[in-house]
């Protein structure tokens, strides 16, 4: 994610797409979150890294997922809000390439009242609620995204859920123990992952190829593709 920030600060003239996974698993918190919201000692004991994203949003447990990053010049006649929507439409295109069943994916039309939402314990978790234009399947959140404008470009990060391990984020939050089971249940009911939708193991290499194709098709252009597995 530091490299994503470096790319954004270099102010590229063309959009750049990166796709990566995490080894070991990692909890990233949003730029405006405090590390105090996460039990770092427990994360360390379980070999889970803890980092702060340069983008906004809330805590994510990067595990059974594919992370995407897009650096997009604002000069290409898009506003930051429009870029957010367009990137999610390109992601949807790629996911449909992966499996036609994903043609049922829809973008969230409503915007949550974050002022009230942040008063709740579950607000520490990114996947606790869908923001406008995020990707849902049967009204459950599949892709979580966050964005930040840096100079003349927008940096957008997101997580495509591929399995259910992300639900374990609850175990690492510094919230009342009595509320953790309830939060886990609620997150389980409001999120979904590709494996649960497709009832099959996820081919991450093929998924990456499909996301790339989706971006190329949607934007009718090539993008600078950079892929890696973080060690």
Considering the candidates 26, 126, 162, 210, report the single residue annotated as catalytic.
126
3-state secondary structure the chain: CHHHHHHHHCCCCCCEEEEEEECCCEEEECCCCCHHHECHHHHHHCCCEEEECCCCCCEEEECCEEEEEEEEECCCCCCHHHHHHHHHHHHHHHHHHHCHHHHHCEECCCCCCHHHHCCCHHHHEHHHCCCCCCEEECCEEEEEEEEEEECCEEEEEEEEECCCHHHHHHHHECCCHHHHHHHHHHHHHHECCHHHHHCCCCCHHHHHHHHHHHHHHHHCCCCEEEEEEEC
Active site residue 210: no
Q: Which are the catalytic amino acids?
A: 126
């Amino acid at each position: 994610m530091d490299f994503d920030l470096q790319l954004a600060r270099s102010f590229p003239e063309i959009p750049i797409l990166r796709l990566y996974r995490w080894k070991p698993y990692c909890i990233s918190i949003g730029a405006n979150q405090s590390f105090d919201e996460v039990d770092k000692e427990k994360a360390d004991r379980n070999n889970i890294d803890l980092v702060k994203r340069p983008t906004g949003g809330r805590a994510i447990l990067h595990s059974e997922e594919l992370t995407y990053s897009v650096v997009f010049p604002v000069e290409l006649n898009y506003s930051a809000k429009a870029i957010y929507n367009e990137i999610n439409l390109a992601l949807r295109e790629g996911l449909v390439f992966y499996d036609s069943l994903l043609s049922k994916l829809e973008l969230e039309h409503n915007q949550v009242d974050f002022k009230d939402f942040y008063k709740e314990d579950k607000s520490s978790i990114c996947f606790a609620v869908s923001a406008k234009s995020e990707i849902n399947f049967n009204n459950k959140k599949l892709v979580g995204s966050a964005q930040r404008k840096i100079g003349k470009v927008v940096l957008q990060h997101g997580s495509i859920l591929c399995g259910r391990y992300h639900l374990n984020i609850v175990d690492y939050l510094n919230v009342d123990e009595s509320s953790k089971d309830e939060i886990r249940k609620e997150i389980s009911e409001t999120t979904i992952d590709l494996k649960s939708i497709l009832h099959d193991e996820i081919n991450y290499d093929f998924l990456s190829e499909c996301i790339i194709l989706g971006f190329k098709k949607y934007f009718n252009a090539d993008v600078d593709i950079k892929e890696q597995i973080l060690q």
